[in-house]
């Protein structure tokens, strides 16, 4: 009887352990999306991001859309030193080109430098571009201040085996979008894909990863148009970038 009771207890404990592991796997990813500012359809983009990620995992989203539609904003979120507490990853899809306060920018970057993972999309690269300090640019992994005209850009994979881009078709051409001119690629940046400028024939990174302090950062300069955010290839790539930054993509 004691042997039988022991076997039953072992089976119960083993089942509990499996149940606990499954529960951890099903735990929703906690995502903070910071968006708003100039020049883009942020409500549509925000919903598209959520719908795209839902195809790969369950997630709980907090969307902060403040600052109006101009190029200058200092949103109240960052007044709290623990503004990213409790989130697995922060997605930056804001467009505040003319905000340049060093103190304000450092409220953002110091939290990421301490280890909060991030995803940076399109106009995040042109946010704070008039600032004299480089903290934001180093966090992004690239420096950009301007873009080429809108067009359909072929994308060439540089690191084709990386899990973020490996499923991108080799002949993928973007919906109509903007090619950002990359002035500098920072030392911890790993370029995953590039596109060529139709104006001067130069090659520019368009998808990459970065290490900023303790944080993993994923970035893409594409994401201007509604058509891009309706493209399943783009959304799948973004979703995998979110998972990668959060440490959930092998």
The pLDDT tens digits for 58-88 are 999 999 998 877 788 899 999 999 999 999 9
Identify the band that residue 18 occupies on the pLDDT scale cut at 50, 70 and 90. Answer: very low
Query: For residues 7 and 10, what is the distance between their CA atoms, to the nearest angstrom?
Result: 5
For residues 153-162, average pLDDT: 98
CA angle 64, 94, 142 (to 5 degrees): 135
Confidence of residue 20 (pLDDT cuts 50, 70, 90): very low
Model pTM score: 0.89
38-64: average pLDDT: 97
146 pLDDT higher than 70: yes
Taking all residues of the chain, what is their mean pLDDT, rounded to a whole number?
91
pLDDT score for 67: 81
Confidence at residue 22, expressed as pLDDT on a 0 to 100 scale: 39
pLDDT tens, residue by residue, 212-237? 999 999 999 999 999 999 999 999 99
Pick from 249, 216, 23, 224: which is nearest to 116 by CA?
216
- The answer on pLDDT for 16 being more than 80 is no
Indicate the fold that domain 28-145+184-193+205-245 takes in CATH. Answer: Rossmann fold (3.40.50)
pLDDT digits (tens, 9 = 90+) for 106-142: 999 999 999 999 999 999 999 999 999 999 999 999 9
- What is the gyration radius of the CA atoms in the chain, in angstroms? 20
Residue 235: predicted pLDDT: 98
CB contact at 8 A, 209 and 190: yes
């Amino acid at each position: 009887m004691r042997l039988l009771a022991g076997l039953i207890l072992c089976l119960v404990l083993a089942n509990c352990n499996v149940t606990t592991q499954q529960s951890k796997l099903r735990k929703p990813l906690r995502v903070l999306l910071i968006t708003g500012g100039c020049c883009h359809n942020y409500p549509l983009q925000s919903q598209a991001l959520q719908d795209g990620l839902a195809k790969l995992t369950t997630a709980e989203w907090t969307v902060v859309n403040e600052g109006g539609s101009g190029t200058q904003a200092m949103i109240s979120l960052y007044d709290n030193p623990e503004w990213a507490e409790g989130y697995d990853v922060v997605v930056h899809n804001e467009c505040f080109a003319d905000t340049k306060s060093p103190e304000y920018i450092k409220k953002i970057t110091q939290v990421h430098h301490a280890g909060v993972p991030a995803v940076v999309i399109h106009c995040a690269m042109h946010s704070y571009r008039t600032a004299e300090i480089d903290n934001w640019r180093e966090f992004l992994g690239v420096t950009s201040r301007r873009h080429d005209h809108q067009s359909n850009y072929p994308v060439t994979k540089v690191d084709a085996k990386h899990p973020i881009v490996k499923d991108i078709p080799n002949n993928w051409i973007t919906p109509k979008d903007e090619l950002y001119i990359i002035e500098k690629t920072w030392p911890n940046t790993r370029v995953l894909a590039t596109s060529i400028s139709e104006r001067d024939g130069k090659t520019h990174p368009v998808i990459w990863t970065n290490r900023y302090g303790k944080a993993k950062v994923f970035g893409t300069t594409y994401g201007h148009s509604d058509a891009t955010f309706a493209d399943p290839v783009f959304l799948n790539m973004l979703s995998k970038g979110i998972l990668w930054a959060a440490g959930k993509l092998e």
